[in-house]
Structure 1
Amino acid sequence: MSTITLRIELHKPTLAKQVMYQKMTEMNTEFANWLLLHPPINQATSKIFKEFSNENFPSAVVNQTIREVKSQKKNQNARTFRKIWCCFNNQNLKIEKNCAFYTVSFPTLEKRVGVPVVAKSFQVAWLNKIINGTVKQGAGKLYQKKKKWYFAIPITWNVESTQDEKIMGIDLGLRYLAVASIGTKSIFFKGSHVASSRRRYASRRRKLGQAKKRQAIKKSQDKESRWMKDQNHKISRQIVNHAISNGVGVIRMEDLTDIRNTAKSKKTDPGRNLHSWSFYQLKEFIQYKAEMVGIRFELVNPEYTSQTCKNGHQAKANRNGLKFRCKECGHTCHADLNGAINVGKAISGLAT
């Protein structure tokens, strides 16, 4: 089973609707905080809302909030929730298509309303799958971000590999952010332009820091974060497209759990600091894009993948920078490509 979340913007809701959404959020947050202190929370049903307030409130939201509070109460260290957005299960949140437009309908304080949404090109296919029932729709969350209102809707579907079991291995690094290998075919993603751009961001923030312009620093950080996300989207899309065109059935990547503890990088160089590049995000993008097209995704233990020759000889001296030369048989290869090949073979086993 695979899951992604569609974040769909509501199309220009009226001021009255925005005020109502905000009121629903405030009321829901107050109700959730009241539930935290309510003794019989484990037996609570939607009827308990009458003990909290006489105002009209959708029972669909009440039930979802009770479930959320129940699940979070054990791990809730704070005495109150800062904000609990209204959630609607798949029985109360309906996605429909009217002519060329898509709408979401859900119960509110007044009545059930249907609101048009801004459906981006890549979201249209998923909305159609929700409508025809080929994917499972989860509980949607109504939330606000930067003065705009959205619905976050998780969708789940079964992943069945429809391609031959060719395997792609992917090695991650700094000089080359990613190297993907399929047998004798490979694709490289250089990190030099990325390092250069990140140095410029870091240099600008140093100057802003000297001028004590904190707000400008925050904007620069946000801009760099968006840029990094865009880079990861482009890399992951090219990798998955390369896999599709070569009939790959499985993509394997290194397990990144301990990458911050084991990887070495030049800490003084912001452009080549492995710890600050979002490799985990890149992994997430590759995984969900692969699974969307029926390619299985697996994580591999990274031990010795960069030091092992194709003949099985493993030695730290085999690798020198980007050069790999086996001390036993003399086999030579690009070091990152050799790592990608070994990741594909899962020489250290699959991560558990």
Structure 2
Amino acid sequence: MPTITLRLELHKPTKVKQEMYERMTEVNTEFANWLLDHPELNQATSKIFKEFSSQRFPSAIACQTIRDVKSQRKHQKAKKFRKQWCCFNNQNWKVERKGEFYTVSFPTLEKRVGVPVVTRPYQEAWLNRLLDGTAKQGAAKLYKKKKKWFLALSITFEEEPCKGEKIMGVDLGLRYIAVASIGTKSLFFKGNQCAFIRRRYAALRRKLQKAKKLRAVRKIGNKESRWMKDVNHKISRQIVNFALANGVGVIRMEDLTGIRKRATSMKEAGRNLHSWAFHQLQTMIAYKAEMSGIRVEWVNPTYTSQTCRCGYRDKGNRNGIHFQCQKCGYTIHVDLNGAINIAKAISGWSA
């Protein structure tokens, strides 16, 4: 079943509660690091916490931490955890609605009390599905970011039955980040503005690197990543909405292997999109489509931009963003031609 994660901010927790959450995190991190070196970790239960400390600590958190450390120890490269946030399995947290507010209760150092959370309309829709039983809750995590406390709630749901019959193809590229095609209808997302912003970020990084301001370089990189993620969210939402509005039941997308090799020159207008988060964009399209009951299929993109609707394939068919068949004279935008061929899966399915 598909899974999503809701990030809910705790609504104005008191100073006492914030200090308690900090303490819980500190104890849990120390416990996790202690477990890393424990010889009997594979047989450990919540009772092992008494060997670590005599202080009061929720057994539900201890059990989840033991499970997490067991799974992470095999791949743990660092000698210790820097921060191990408190996590709860699906049986140890609960959502309730009290008037216009939603509360989430979970184990703490004190008694278990429902904590009000800040919600947005789309989050409320998912919380309502938990309450009416049309979605199932998974694990939860209590963590802090930028002086605010959040709960990350994992929610699984059944895919809605596919209602549409049409097939949409989505082509990804450099000059145009994405082009979607449904029959005679199409949707374009230009990459020139994004390429300009990427070049501006790159120039700023080079300037900061020369000045050896490495902290500022990392900060700029994080800012750029957040911007890219926001752009991908908006593009993916528009693509899925376009599919829903036109009765699409299947979205076909290309396999990403080799996408960065498609630029013909380093001086190409969209050169800085070589590092665009194409996989992230496809992932966002896929999970939004699944949530809407649209099936996603992956196809081999080979020759999709060189093949005409008449079946003739030649490198000379494409010239920049223009496609003109050397055999029948058919003309079209090259990325739209690619999206149409992806929808038809002319090169077969991805291995």
- Tell me the TM-score range normalised by the shorter chain: over 0.9
Query: Which amino acid is 1:236 matched to?
Result: S
Query: Which amino acid is 2:229 matched to?
Result: K
For residues 76 and 270 of structure 1, do their structure 2 counterparts lie closer, same or farther at Cα, with a shift above 3 Å needed? farther
Residue of structure 1 in register with 2:115 after alignment: 115
Q: Distance in 1 between matches of 2:178 and 2:4?
A: 23
Alignment size in residue pairs: 351
Q: Distance in 2 between matches of 1:72 and 1:26?
A: 19
Matches within 5 A, 1:14-163: 14-163=14-163
Residue of structure 2 in register with 1:296 after alignment: 295
Query: Which amino acid is 2:348 matched to?
Result: G
Residue of structure 2 in register with 1:263 after alignment: 262
For residues 215 and 71 of structure 1, do their structure 2 counterparts lie closer, same or farther at Cα, with a shift above 3 Å needed? closer
Moved more, 306-315 or 338-347: 306-315
1:183 deviation in Å? 0.9
Is residue 2:331 matched to residue 1:351? Answer: no
For residues 203 and 162 of structure 1, do their structure 2 counterparts lie closer, same or farther at Cα, with a shift above 3 Å needed? same
Q: Distance in 2 between matches of 1:270 and 1:320?
A: 14
Residue of structure 2 in register with 1:185 after alignment: 185
Give the secondary structure class of the aligned counterpart of 1:351: coil
Give the secondary structure class of the aligned counterpart of 2:168: strand
Q: Distance in 2 between matches of 1:139 and 1:41?
A: 21
CA contact (8 A) 2:24 2:109 kept: yes
The two structures have a TM-score, normalised by structure 1, of 0.93
1:214 deviation in Å? 4.0
For residues 204 and 39 of structure 1, do their structure 2 counterparts lie closer, same or farther at Cα, with a shift above 3 Å needed? closer
CA contact (8 A) 2:93 2:105 kept: yes
Q: Distance in 1 between matches of 2:101 and 2:176?
A: 43
Give the secondary structure class of the aligned counterpart of 1:281: helix
Structure 2 unmatched runs, 5+: none
Q: Distance in 1 between matches of 2:319 and 2:25?
A: 57
What CA RMSD, in Å, does the superposition of the two structures yield over aligned residues? Answer: 2.0
CA contact (8 A) 2:300 2:345 kept: yes
For residues 257 and 31 of structure 1, do their structure 2 counterparts lie closer, same or farther at Cα, with a shift above 3 Å needed? farther
1:152 deviation in Å? 1.0
Q: Distance in 1 between matches of 2:264 and 2:52?
A: 55
Residue of structure 2 in register with 1:317 after alignment: 316
Once the two structures are superposed, what CA deviation does each residue of 1:203-226 show, in whole Å capped at 9, x if it has no partner?
333444444444444443333322
Structure 1 unmatched runs, 5+: none
Q: Distance in 2 between matches of 1:21 and 1:282?
A: 35
1:151 deviation in Å? 1.0
For residues 204 and 77 of structure 1, do their structure 2 counterparts lie closer, same or farther at Cα, with a shift above 3 Å needed? closer
For residues 199 and 76 of structure 1, do their structure 2 counterparts lie closer, same or farther at Cα, with a shift above 3 Å needed? closer
Give the secondary structure class of the aligned counterpart of 2:113: strand
CA contact (8 A) 1:264 1:274 kept: no
Query: Which amino acid is 2:61 matched to?
Result: V
Query: Which amino acid is 1:58 matched to?
Result: P
Residue of structure 1 in register with 2:277 after alignment: 278
For residues 265 and 141 of structure 1, do their structure 2 counterparts lie closer, same or farther at Cα, with a shift above 3 Å needed? farther
For residues 99 and 265 of structure 1, do their structure 2 counterparts lie closer, same or farther at Cα, with a shift above 3 Å needed? farther
CA contact (8 A) 1:90 1:140 kept: yes
1:122 deviation in Å? 1.8
Q: Distance in 2 between matches of 1:190 and 1:130?
A: 38
CA contact (8 A) 1:3 1:155 kept: yes
Once the two structures are superposed, what CA deviation does each residue of 1:242-286 show, in whole Å capped at 9, x if it has no partner?
1111000111111224434x3326546795323221212211221
Is residue 2:334 matched to residue 1:335? Answer: yes
CA contact (8 A) 1:263 1:274 kept: no
Moved more, 245-254 or 307-316: 307-316
Query: Which amino acid is 2:200 matched to?
Result: R
Query: Percent identity of the aligned residues?
Result: 67
Query: Which amino acid is 2:33 matched to?
Result: N
Once the two structures are superposed, what CA deviation does each residue of 1:28-49 show, in whole Å capped at 9, x if it has no partner?
1221222222222222111111
Q: Distance in 2 between matches of 1:268 and 1:175?
A: 12
Q: Distance in 2 between matches of 1:57 and 1:45?
A: 14
Give the secondary structure class of the aligned counterpart of 2:308: coil
The two structures have a TM-score, normalised by structure 2, of 0.93
